Amino acid sequence: MESPEALRDRLLARFPGVSVELVPNGSPSGQVSLRISPAGLREVARFLRDDAALALDQCSNVTGLDSPDREVVETVKESQPGAPGGPPVVIERKQTRIEPGHLEVVYHLYSVARRHGPVILRARTGNRTDAVTLPSLTPVWRSCEFQEREVFDLYGVVFEGHPDLRRILMWDAFAGHPMRKDYVEPDDYEWEPTPHGEVLAKARRHYPSAAAPGAVQPSP
């Protein structure tokens, strides 16, 4: 099979409007992946499946990754004029900035016909709150059907074009996405408002709204 670099170049030549980025891997496994811009993901996937040399006919594994917002501390060096005639003084200043988080979906593709792989595709959402839509690859590989439902259920990525996007492991009325890094699990899954008890005290601490009688315990 062609090298990931050659594959990236071929994809870039074939799909001029799509960004294809090589994601390095520091592990000895050497499994390098390709990050595709969401708008072109399904097109690229279909090409990878139908291309005679690649024939990636099996999407083995679909999974999500969560990168929460990160606070990055940077040291900025500024030089200011020093004493007259002397060298400029360099002042170090620390500044923090918030690097916005995102959700990412990873697809591991193999070829049963040609017995090679994996080719790893990744796609990122815009953020973790309101721009969480990615194109579904279920129309390309049926094996994504349940696995994308699982990513939707546990990470909250919405797959546009999925034929049956429902929760799969958690129950339908469940709120929240448990695989996210900032998920706080309920203190008690069978919780109901009671006038006393440690559970209520804990819940009040975590969720102010839980103090109201009959309130449904929210998940973050």
Partner 1 sequence: MMLPDPAATGLARVRKIEGAALGLRTPAFAPEEGAGDLLEVSLGPHHPSTHGVFRMDVVLDGERIVRLKPVFGYLHRNHEKLGEGTSYLGSMPYTDRLDYLNSMTNNWAYALAVEKLAGIPVTERAEYVRVILAELSRLLNHTCLAGFLMQDCGCSGTPLMYAFREREKILDLFESLSGSRMMCNFQRFGGCRVDPSAEWLAATRTLVDGYGAFLDEFEALLSGNEIVMARTQGVGRLPAALAVNAGVTGPMLRASGVGHDLRKVDGYGVYPRFNFRVPIGRDGDVYDRYMVRMLEMRESISILDQALRGLPGGPILDPKAKQRGLRPKAGEAYGRIEGPKGEIGFFLVSDGTGNPTRYRVRAPSFVNLTILEDLCLGHSVADAVIILGSIDIVLGEVDR
> Taking the complex as a whole, how short is the minimal distance between the CB of residue 106 and partner 1, in angstroms?
7
Residue 57: other Cβ atoms inside 10 A: 15
86 contacts partner 1 (rule: CB under 8 A): no
60 contacts partner 1 (rule: CB under 8 A): yes
27 contacts partner 1 (rule: CB under 8 A): yes
Question: Out of 1, 18, 65, 199, which residue is the one contacting partner 1 (CB under 8 A)?
Answer: 65
Task: Yes or no: say if 161 and 136 are a contact pair by the CB < 8 Å rule.
Answer: yes
Residue 74: other Cβ atoms inside 10 A: 9
Per DSSP bridges, beta strands 133-135 and 58-67 are unpaired
75 contacts partner 1 (rule: CB under 8 A): no
94 contacts partner 1 (rule: CB under 8 A): no
Map the footprint of partner 1 across residues 143-202, applying CB under 8 A.
Answer: 143, 145-147, 154, 167-171, 178-179
For partner 1, the closer of residues 18 and 23 by Cβ is: 23
Name the DSSP class of 169: S
Distance (Å, rounded) from C-alpha 140 to C-alpha 46? 6
18 contacts partner 1 (rule: CB under 8 A): no
Task: Yes or no: say if 125 and 131 are a contact pair by the CB < 8 Å rule.
Answer: yes
For partner 1, the closer of residues 154 and 200 by Cβ is: 154
Task: Specify whether the backbone of 119 is left (phi greater than 0), alpha (psi in -120 to 50) or beta.
Answer: beta
**What does the block give as tokens for 142?**
């049926």
Instruction: Count the residues of the shown chain that bind partner 1, applying the rule CB under 8 A.
Output: 34
Map the footprint of partner 1 across residues 126-145, applying CB under 8 A.
Answer: 141-143, 145
Mapping DSSP onto H, E and C, the string for 108-151 reads EEEECCCCEEEEEEEEECCCCCCCCEEECCCCCCCCHHHHHHHH
Stretch that binds partner 1, among 4-12, 91-99, 113-121, 201-209 (CB under 8 A): 113-121
> Taking the complex as a whole, how short is the minimal distance between the CB of residue 42 and partner 1, in angstroms?
15
- Which residues contact partner 1 (rule: CB under 8 A)? 25-29, 31, 57-61, 63, 65, 106, 108, 112-113, 115, 118, 120, 141-143, 145-147, 154, 167-171, 178-179
